[in-house]
């Protein structure tokens, strides 16, 4: 073997090694950014309509609440508690892990903090005995991820924060007289929060407490609670389940057609929702 051949083989090995190192560095960088800074999430259901639409892709800040095992890929069990923890606020739109299956991500609005008393009466939200103000914004209609039409009234709700300011955001109401709109008064336990969807009549959220008889965020013994007929009772959510706060809609696609029908892609893009802040 001559010197030229040996040099070519050596150069080839060094080039391959450099490429592998670059790929590994990029993978580490991506994991670090997604774990510590920001992670994109897709909105698969209508539970946060009209704030978030099916097909929205949102950027979720991992810095907002600190870090737990759920901040990292595969939720490593050797991590316990929260680091650099910060409490959520009423009005935050947050991503967290489902209470019955922590491999599943949920996104809802936080409406109750530890010690808050939350109830629904004739479709209106009450926090600590006070009705949350809202303004009628007229009729609203949209098709959900199942192809069903959701039709009702859009309201601008003014949710009070702890510092006395308000978070103004839109909700959808389609009815007022069922059990989900006339609930018991729930007192949020320590270390937990109460979450609801902005689509108030099409959301499996903390109003539904079935199956949460034990643990930090359990309903106290003897209390009445609602049960979701589909078995998706959320209950009170442990603060440790928080992943991050939804900050901005990166882009949005109206997924009315199967993904493989690429010729519909240009007309399904919702250009007006690009880089739209999440109220």
Which is it for the CA torsion 124, 218, 192, 198, positive or negative?
Answer: negative
Closest CA to 122 of 160, 174, 178: 178
Do 108 and 94 form a contact (C-beta atoms < 8 A)? yes
Distance CA 35, CA 89 (A): 22
* Geometric angle at alpha carbon 10, from 6 and 12, rounded to 5°: 115
Q: For residues 127 and 133, is the Cβ–Cβ distance under 8 A?
A: no
Two structure tokens written together for 127: 């926090």
Q: Is 62 annotated as catalytic?
A: no
Cα–Cα distance, 275 to 262 (Å, whole number): 23
Omega into 50 within 30° of 0, i.e. cis? yes
Name the active-site residue from 45, 64, 68, 108. 108
Query: b or e along 22-45 (b: 16 or more beta carbons within 10 Å of the residue's beta carbon)?
Result: eeeeeeeeeeeebeeebbebebeb
> Is-catalytic flag, 75?
no
- Coil/strand/helix, residue 33: helix
Catalytic pick among 47, 71, 203, 204? 47
| Neighbour-count burial for 197-221, b at 16+ CB within 10 Å, e otherwise | bbbbbbbbbbbbbbebeeeebebee
3-class SS of residue 110: strand
Backbone angles phi, psi at 131, to 5 degrees: -70, 135
Which residues belong to the active site? Answer: 47, 108
């Amino acid at each position: 073997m001559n010197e030229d051949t040996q040099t070519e083989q050596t150069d080839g090995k060094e080039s391959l090694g450099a490429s592998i190192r670059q790929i590994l560095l990029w993978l580490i960088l991506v994991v670090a950014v997604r774990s510590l800074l920001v992670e994109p999430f897709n909105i698969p259901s209508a539970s946060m309509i009209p704030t978030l639409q099916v097909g929205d892709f949102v950027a979720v800040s991992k810095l907002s609440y600190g870090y737990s095992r759920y901040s990292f890929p595969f939720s490593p069990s050797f991590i316990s508690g929260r680091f650099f923890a910060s409490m959520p606020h009423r009005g935050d739109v947050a991503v967290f892990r489902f209470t019955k299956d922590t491999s599943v991500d949920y996104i809802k609005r936080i409406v109750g903090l530890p010690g808050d008393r939350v109830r629904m009466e004739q479709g209106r939200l009450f926090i600590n005995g006070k009705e949350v103000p809202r303004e009628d914004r007229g009729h609203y209609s949209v098709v959900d991820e199942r192809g069903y039409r959701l039709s009702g009234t859009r309201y601008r709700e003014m949710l009070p924060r702890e510092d006395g300011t308000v978070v103004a955001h839109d909700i959808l109401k389609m009815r007022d007289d069922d059990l989900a709109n006339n609930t018991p008064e729930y007192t949020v336990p320590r270390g937990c929060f109460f979450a609801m969807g902005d689509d108030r009549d099409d959301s499996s959220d903390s109003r539904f407490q079935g199956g949460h008889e034990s643990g930090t965020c359990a309903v106290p013994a003897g209390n009445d609670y609602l049960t979701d007929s589909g078995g998706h009772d959320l209950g009170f959510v442990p603060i440790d389940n928080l992943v991050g706060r939804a900050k901005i809609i990166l882009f949005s696609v109206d997924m009315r057609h199967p993904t493989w029908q690429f010729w519909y892609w240009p007309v399904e893009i919702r250009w007006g929702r690009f880089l739209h802040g999440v109220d």
